[in-house]
Amino acid sequence: MSQAFRDILKKVGSGSHTSQPLSRDEAAEAGRMMLSQTATPAQIGAFLIAHRIKRPTAPELAGLLDAYGDLGPMMMPIDTEKAVTIFGCPYDGRSRTAPIIPITALLLATAGIPVLLHGGDRMPTKEGLPLIEIWRSLGLPLDQLSLNQARQLLQETGFGFVYLPQHFPLAQGIVEYREQIGKRPPLATIELFWCPYGGNAHVVSGYVHPPTEELAKGTFAQQGREQFTLVKGLEGSCDLPRSRAAIVGVTHGDGRFEHLLLHAGDHGLSSYDLPLDDETAYLSALPGAIAGQPSELLGSALWNGGFYLWRLGYCDTFSAGIAEAKRLLKEGQVQAKLAEIRQVLGQLKAPSAVLV
């Protein structure tokens, strides 16, 4: 048993009237002891459920992110003048609505905006469709790359993926606790804010519950992060909905934070979010949307691609972003980017490639 962890656990697990928030340093130490499993399984499980009941604070989340920074992977900066866009989506995947983020990522990479995503396999508690399975269906076995190879892929194509089991096995080791406690622990919030990139980055975080937005703002303030976007997205992802107003929080260069309320109907798009009734059908339809073939999936791709092309400075207006997204998809440029990523990935995986 870790006596040091026991002392930390006593602070967060003492009940609604006597529990105390951890300092950033204490939370970082707790995170390191959980990741390294210096703390016992009983202590880790107790902390995760007690912390969920107490509710995390911004300094605590910043401290847990410090632990991720100390023990986890950190991709070295690539040679680019642009900020790398980091998308933080729930690791337990999607079960109700069709994911749009794969098309968005390919669109941005096509436009010369580098994108880095991260995640793992099927994960409790939702066990929804994870990003890695979507990429596999598109011929991209991203789980087979080392971190250095993932960085090479990002450098050469503008697209990269940090895969938890391969690149951060210590965090993967905590996944089983999610199943055992039956609830998402605060570490599920960490994955929305985590930036596994060591250079200039623009973090985009999805969320479901409004308090998460304030936690994100407070956590990023603790870290000194000034570039970020917060999306009340589909199932907590970074995908903007069409069936309701999209609520997005954006930062500006002068330090201002602004809320945007965006309506698909204002841009000639239907108010419809494609349900994920059948994963196989969705995966079969995805290449058609990437090729620009008309569908509801394409409509959502234009809505999301247009927003991010505008938000990240590629286009001057949202409407121009939608038009550009349509052009890149219809002309086959996004499809060509996917083929390029597939080719480069194949070269990196070749027997002559060095696994670092």
The amino acid present at 153, given as its one-letter code, is L
Instruction: Render pLDDT for 157-216 as a digit per residue (tens, 0 to 9).
Output: 999 999 999 999 999 999 999 999 998 999 999 999 999 999 999 999 999 999 999 999
How long a stretch of residues is the chain?
A: 356
CA torsion sign, 159 to 302 to 131 to 236?
A: positive
Assess contact for 207 and 237: CB atoms under 8 A. no
Beta bridge partners of 144: none
Q: Are the C-beta atoms of 299 and 269 separated by less than 8 Å?
A: yes
pLDDT of residue 351: 66
- Whether residue 174 contacts residue 34, with contact meaning beta carbons closer than 8 Å, is answered with yes
Per-residue confidence (pLDDT) for residue 356, from 0 to 100: 44
Q: How many CA atoms lie within 13 A of 17 on its CB side?
A: 0
- The pLDDT value given to residue 2: 85
Number of H helices, E strands in the chain: 16, 7
For 93, the token pair is 């995947």
C-alpha 271/C-alpha 246 separation (Å) is 11
Q: Are 98 and 274 in contact (CB under 8 A)?
A: yes
Bond prior to 38 in cis (omega within 30° of 0): no
What kind and span of H or E run contains 258?
strand 257-262
SS3 for 79-105 is CCCCCEEEEECCCCCECCECCCHHHHH
As a whole number of angstroms, the distance between CA 108 and CA 129 comes to: 22
Fold (topology level) of 3-71: 1.20.970
Predicted TM-score of the model (pTM): 0.96
Specify the 3-state DSSP secondary structure of 107: helix
> pLDDT under 50 in the chain at which residues?
354-356
Could you give the CA distance from residue 148 to residue 49 in angstroms, rounded to a whole number? 35
Residue 355: per-residue pLDDT: 45
Chain centroid offset of residue 269 CA: 26
Residues 298, 104: Cα–Cα separation, whole Å = 11
Evaluated on CA atoms 186, 191, 196, 202, the torsion sign reads negative
> 224: exposed, middle or buried (C-beta count within 10 Å: 0-12, 13-18, 19+)?
exposed
Fold (topology level) of 84-339? Pyrimidine Nucleoside Phosphorylase; Chain A, domain 2 (3.40.1030)
Domain boundaries, the chain: 3-71, 84-339
DSSP 8-class letter at 55: -
